[in-house]
Structure 1
C-alpha cells in the first residue's frame, strides 16, 4: 500500500516545486511528474502512473486540473483507479474516494460536468439555428468534392494521390474517396 503522487504543469517554463512540496508533505512514496498540456492526449507519466498503481495504493494530486483535462477525463481516470481498487485524493479540495463523502463529491462533479456539456451543446444548437435563420450559417463547404474534376485530371496525368492532395490543398483521404467514387461509376480505369 503506497501513496503515489502525480504532479503536472502545462508548459516547460512553469515550475513543479510547489506541487512536489505538497505531495511530499502528504507522504507520497513515489511521484510521477511531467510538463505537458492538459489537453494533450499523450501524457506518458500519467499513463505510467495508472499502469503502476496496485490494489490498496492511493493516488494523490494537488488539484483536479493537474490530472484531468475535463470532468469526463477525470471520471475515466477514477474508474480506472477504482477497477484496480486504488483510492484517489485531491489535496486542495480534500476529496478522498475512500470515504462516502468523497465518492458523493466525485459523483456530483460528474453530474455537473454532464450538465455543463449538455448546456454548451444546447447553446451551440441555438446559435447555429439563429445563424441559419439569419442566413449567415451555411455549414462547412464541401471543398474536396468541389475539386473532384481537378483531382481526376491530375490523377489521369499520372500524379500520385499524395501529390494531387498537396497540389489541391485537400486531404489524401479525400483524393482516395473521389477516385473510388469515380471507379464505382465506371468513369475511370481501375488502375488509378
Structure 2
C-alpha cells in the first residue's frame, strides 16, 4: 500500500512547504505538488499523474479537501475514481478517510463547503472590482503586449491566429487591438 501526498497552491506567491511537511509527517512516501486553480481539475498534471498510477490499497492524502478541489463535482468524481481503483482518500484537516462509508458522506459535505467557499471568493472579488471601478481606480490588468506590435504584425501580413500564437495571447486580444485601430481611424 502506497501513501501518496498531493499539495496544491493557487498562485506562485503561495508556499507549498507547510503542506509538504504535513504530508511527509502523515507518512507519504511520494508527494506531488503543483500551482494552479482548484476550481477545475483541468490542467492539473500532477494530480492526473497520481490518478494514473494509484493501485488497489493505495491512499491519496491531502492536507485539506480544498487542496484537492473546490468543485464538489470534481471532488466527488475523484473519490469515485479512487473507489473504482480500490484506493482511498485521506484528508488531514479535519481527519477523514473514504475507506468507510461515513467518510464518503463527510467528504461529500466538505466538497460542497469548498465549492461554496469558491463562490464566496468570486463574489468578494467581483464586489471589490465593482467598487474600484465605481471609484475610477480599477483599470484592469496591465497589458502584456503592445497593441502597436499586434497591428504591425497584422499589417505585415501575419494572420490573426499566428500573431496570437507568436505573442502568446488570445485571439480576442488581437481583435481588441485591431478594434482600437479602427476607433482611432474613425476619430480622424
Question: Smaller-chain TM-score range?
Answer: 0.5 to 0.7
Q: After TM superposition, list the pairs within 5 Å mapping 1:124-163 onto structure 2.
A: none
3-state DSSP class of the match of 1:45? helix
For residues 72-104 of structure 1, the C-alpha deviation after alignment (integer angstroms, 9 at most, x for no partner) is 110011111111010101100111111232123
Q: Secondary structure at the match of 2:75?
A: helix
| CA distance in 1: counterparts of 2:102 and 2:39, whole angstroms | 29
- Tell me what 2:103 maps to: 102
Question: Where does residue 73 of structure 1 map in the other structure?
Answer: 74
Q: Which stretches in structure 1 are left out of the alignment for 5+ residues?
A: 117-159, 171-192
2:38 aligned residue: 38
Shift of 1:37: 2.0
Residues 1:64 and 2:77 are matched in the alignment:
no
Distance in 2, matches of 1:52 and 1:45, equals 11
Structure 1 Cα separation of the partners of residues 88 and 73 of structure 2: 18
Aligned to 1:21: 21
1:35 to partner: Cα distance: 1.3
RMSD over aligned Cα atoms? 2.9
Distance apart, 1:109 and its partner CA = 4.5
Q: Take 1:69 and 1:60, find their aligned partners in 2: how far apart are those partners?
A: 16
Residue pair 2:3, 2:58 contacting (<8 A) in 1 also? yes
Query: 1:29, CA displacement in angstroms?
Result: 1.1
Greater radius of gyration (CA): 1
Consecutive unaligned residues in structure 2, runs of 5 or more: 117-158, 162-170, 177-188
Aligned residue for 1:106, secondary structure, equals helix
Give the match's secondary structure for 2:34: strand
TM-score after normalising by structure 1: 0.56
Question: Per-residue CA shift, 1:124-181, capped at 9, x if unaligned?
Answer: xxxxxxxxxxxxxxxxxxxxxxxxxxxxxxxxxxxx9x8xx98xx59xxxxxxxxxxx
CA distance in 2, matches of 1:64, 1:104: 13
CA shift for structure 1 position 107? 4.1
